Structure 1
Amino acid sequence: MSDELGLFADDPGDDRRRRAPDPEGFRRRKRRRTVTALAGLFVLLLVGGGVLYGASQLLQIGSYEDYEGEGTGEVVVEVKPGDTVSAIGRTLAQQDVVASTKAFTKAAEQNRRINSIQPGYYLMRTRMSGQAAVTHILSDDAKVGRVEVRGGMRLEDQAAPDGGRTAGILRRLAEATCVGKNPTCTTPEEMFRVAETADLASLGVPEWAIADASKAEPKRRLEGLIMPGVYDVKPGESAENVLRDVVTRSAAVLEVAGLPQAAEGTGHSPYELLIIASLVQSEGITKDFPQISRVIHNRLTHPVMRLGLDSTINYPLDKPTLLTKPEDRARPGPYNTYLNYGLPPTPISSPSKEAIAAAERPAEGRWKYFVKCYPDGTSCFAETPQQHEAYIAEARARGAF
């Protein structure tokens, strides 16, 4: 029996061998438990951090940085073509005009006029509240550097009928560089100097105009090559950069107006058409441009006729009216179309697109004379000297001049 019991009973020795401690296994199990615990803690931290971040974002919805008050100092900012309200806000924030883009855009939501803001340069203050920045950028005081060139304007200053002076294109461009309390300005004298001496090609003068413009009296080289329009001049910019921008943009406008291609088949060079356009611009009102152009073309092709235009007489004499005196008409000079045949050497003003179109495509007719015969500037056109004299008498009777 003892053998049987011994055969089937548990062996204490075997049990001790089976339960003997395993130090290495214990350490492995402990490491696994530690890693698992750490991983769980990391996940909890991630989840908790995400919850905290989400909560903080929810709490900050609608908040943004904003300054108080009207601001101090001066800074010029540029609104570029195509800028959205947000883009304008970013520009203002980058230059510390406002504390944040949102300070500006939120204030702008209350003012629909912000959507019509024009590209260009604006004189702002630093550290303005969003509301103050919106109000100021929409005010007349903020817009700076804008120059409007109208048809018939000239490079140089002109005498005004009241005895004063009317600023010419070059002076206006120079003055546009000068804004603020302590500006860095381009002087009119510097603008005149660059216009007279700078390389014409580097200024953007069209290739077809360079040869003729180079022959002109220096101060008249750019006459007629700055087209009517609105130009945004960067405050503090150099004279050469200002002129390069304006002349280059004008060259593009001239191309759209048809030059030089429209000169083909007319018997005139592109520069001559530009001169004719300036004469048309200076001699009448827009509705009469095609007929005035026809008179000029007819006279240029007549073998014994001179142009006889008062505007060319007064151009170098700096006189504000179209009327001329006998002694002025007898004064020799390259712009005296009473004494000289053909066109003057340069344009005498900035021609509009309408004047250029009239120079390229004059009205059909046999007129060789015209005179301003109504007080509103309307001209009367004649084919013979007798008709012309009759119109002059009528014009005097109406008080047209």
Structure 2
Amino acid sequence: MTDDLGLFADEPGEHRRRRPDPERFRRRKRRRWVTALAGLFVLLLVGGGVGYGAMQIMQIGSYDDYEGAGTGTAVIEVKAGETVSEIGSSMSEKDVVASTSAFIAAAAENKQINSIQPGYYMMRKQMSGKAAVERILSADAKVGRVEVRGGMRLDDQLAPDGKKTPGILTMLADATCTKNKNDCTTSEQMHEAAATADLASLGVPEWAVEPASQADPKRRLEGLIMPGIYDVKPGAAAEDVLREVLTRSAAQMQAAGLPQAAEGTEHSPYEMLVIGSIVQSEGITKDFPKVARVIENRLAPPQMRLGMDSTINYPLDKPALLTAPEDRERPGPYNTYLNYGLPPTPISTVSKEALQAAERPAEGDWKYFVKCQKDGTSCFGKTQAEHDAFIKQAQENGAY
């Protein structure tokens, strides 16, 4: 009988051993790995629909957690793009929660966690995971947020009722405060840093450093902070706050066209910013391009004085457009009723829309304008006679 299948021993009492097949072994091993990986992939897909994935589920099976709402205070920063796990890790490091997993487990039960915004949050120490999630989602937790709008100024403004409206520097100083007032940077400290700190080290764009350094120290940062929402770290020093804000603003200015938009024009990038600030202060958004054209037409030969009320009121810290006769007669670098050319600095923050209007003014021969409608719309004239007629119309409309 032949032993084609190798079932019989070569010698009595012995079984013939089969020679190992290395390639066959590797194929079987690969199949086992493929099967295992496929199974794991299915688990991850299923887990993703009900939590944060198989890894997170394994991690929160058993974890440390505090009880209650916690005590004391701790500031947590949420950075753009951070995951729930990364936020929980930051909290764990500062003893806000007992473990990252405690926060993850509580967050899995609250879908609002996906809407959390970057910034700084005032938390308590030794909170339960559930309490930490509820706290960070509450309106009271968000701290250090400052909204800068177009037309705002560095210094406080005198309102018609005699009260003061906080300026940007005061707002930034106030944003550094926590419940412990000893951590605050004062408005005086913020103003001092704005007037004395090295401009380049603060993040002022290179093209603005020289003209800003020649300005009155208290005015030199005017217009260099773009509108937007800024997150200020509670307890931060004045220079650190200004550096963060000005660095972000410089990037926004570049995105809005500066300094490139000044190339091929008769203006420097800083002059573009000055023009944009006047446009911002004198008109509403839809009129920005026309206001910019009036400024250009008055600057062109034969040059006229700009005659802008907003520049008169700027050093007086008044937000109103109308000016008193005695103020228009008061000499000073911002008096465009007496001086030719542009004022030495911007007179307010400049929105992207106002800056783009300064870069690309509307086409037209207008040299005059006045707010002639109650909604702020201006009427634009080519001659003094047209302008006088529009002033009469504005008075009849109750807009002047």
Structure 1 length-normalised TM: 0.84
Q: Is the 8 A contact 2:203 2:247 kept in 1?
A: yes
Q: Distance in 2 between matches of 1:60 and 1:124?
A: 24
**Partner of 2:398 in structure 1?**
399
Q: Is the 8 A contact 1:373 1:400 kept in 2?
A: yes
How many residue pairs end up in the alignment?
Answer: 344
Query: 1:93 Cα deviation (Å)?
Result: 1.3
Percent identity (aligned): 71
Change (3 A) 1:395 1:316: same
Query: 1:294 Cα deviation (Å)?
Result: 0.5
**1:39-50 superposed matches below 5 A:** none
**Partner of 2:33 in structure 1?**
none
Change (3 A) 1:182 1:400: closer
**1:56-75 superposed matches below 5 A:** 62-75=61-74
**Partner of 1:266 in structure 2?**
265
**Partner of 1:344 in structure 2?**
343
Q: CA RMSD in A?
A: 1.5
Per-residue CA deviation, residues 188-231 of structure 1 (Å, 9 max, x unaligned), is 11111111111111111111111111110010010001111111
**Partner of 1:372 in structure 2?**
371
Quick check: which one's helix share is greater?
1
Q: Is the 8 A contact 1:154 1:223 kept in 2?
A: yes
Structure 2 length-normalised TM: 0.84
**Partner of 1:118 in structure 2?**
117
Q: Is the 8 A contact 1:96 1:127 kept in 2?
A: yes
Per-residue CA deviation, residues 61-99 of structure 1 (Å, 9 max, x unaligned), is 733221111100000011111101111111111111111
**1:216-231 superposed matches below 5 A:** 216-231=215-230
Q: Does 1:329 align with 2:328?
A: yes
1:125 is paired with a residue of what secondary structure? Answer: strand
Query: 1:182 Cα deviation (Å)?
Result: 5.0
Change (3 A) 1:143 1:60: closer
1:74 is paired with a residue of what secondary structure? Answer: strand
Change (3 A) 1:313 1:62: same
Change (3 A) 1:59 1:110: closer
**1:86-125 superposed matches below 5 A:** 86-125=85-124
Q: Distance in 1 between matches of 2:71 and 2:121?
A: 15
**1:92-171 superposed matches below 5 A:** 92-171=91-170
Query: 1:321 Cα deviation (Å)?
Result: 0.9
Change (3 A) 1:245 1:60: closer
**Partner of 1:388 in structure 2?**
387
**1:206-225 superposed matches below 5 A:** 206-225=205-224
Per-residue CA deviation, residues 141-175 of structure 1 (Å, 9 max, x unaligned), is 10111111111010100012332111111111111
Amino acid in structure 2 at the alignment position of 1:69: G
Change (3 A) 1:119 1:199: same
**Partner of 1:29 in structure 2?**
none
Change (3 A) 1:61 1:156: closer
Q: Give the greater-gyration-radius structure (CA).
A: 1
Q: Distance in 2 between matches of 1:133 and 1:340?
A: 59
Q: Which runs of 5+ in 1 are unaligned?
A: 1-57
Query: 1:317 Cα deviation (Å)?
Result: 1.1
**Partner of 1:299 in structure 2?**
298
Q: Distance in 1 between matches of 2:143 and 2:350?
A: 25
Q: Which runs of 5+ in 2 are unaligned?
A: 1-56
Q: Distance in 2 between matches of 1:275 and 1:294?
A: 14
Q: Distance in 2 between matches of 1:209 and 1:392?
A: 37
Q: Distance in 2 between matches of 1:385 and 1:202?
A: 48
Q: Is the 8 A contact 2:60 2:101 kept in 1?
A: no
Amino acid in structure 2 at the alignment position of 1:97: V
Q: Is the 8 A contact 1:293 1:358 kept in 2?
A: yes
Q: Distance in 2 between matches of 1:61 and 1:185?
A: 38
Change (3 A) 1:387 1:184: same
Per-residue CA deviation, residues 209-260 of structure 1 (Å, 9 max, x unaligned), is 1111111001001000111111111111111111111111111111111111
Amino acid in structure 2 at the alignment position of 1:233: V
**Partner of 1:279 in structure 2?**
278
**Partner of 1:174 in structure 2?**
173
Amino acid in structure 2 at the alignment position of 1:194: A
**1:173-252 superposed matches below 5 A:** 173-181=172-180, 183-252=182-251
Amino acid in structure 1 at the alignment position of 2:353: E
Greater mean deviation of Cα atoms: 334-343 or 176-185: 176-185
2:345 is paired with a residue of what secondary structure? Answer: coil
Change (3 A) 1:340 1:60: closer
Amino acid in structure 1 at the alignment position of 2:153: R
2:120 is paired with a residue of what secondary structure? Answer: strand
**Partner of 1:51 in structure 2?**
none
Q: Is the 8 A contact 2:275 2:346 kept in 1?
A: yes
Change (3 A) 1:324 1:72: same
Q: Is the 8 A contact 1:123 1:180 kept in 2?
A: no
Q: Distance in 1 between matches of 2:70 and 2:181?
A: 17
Amino acid in structure 2 at the alignment position of 1:361: R
Change (3 A) 1:127 1:295: same
Amino acid in structure 2 at the alignment position of 1:297: E
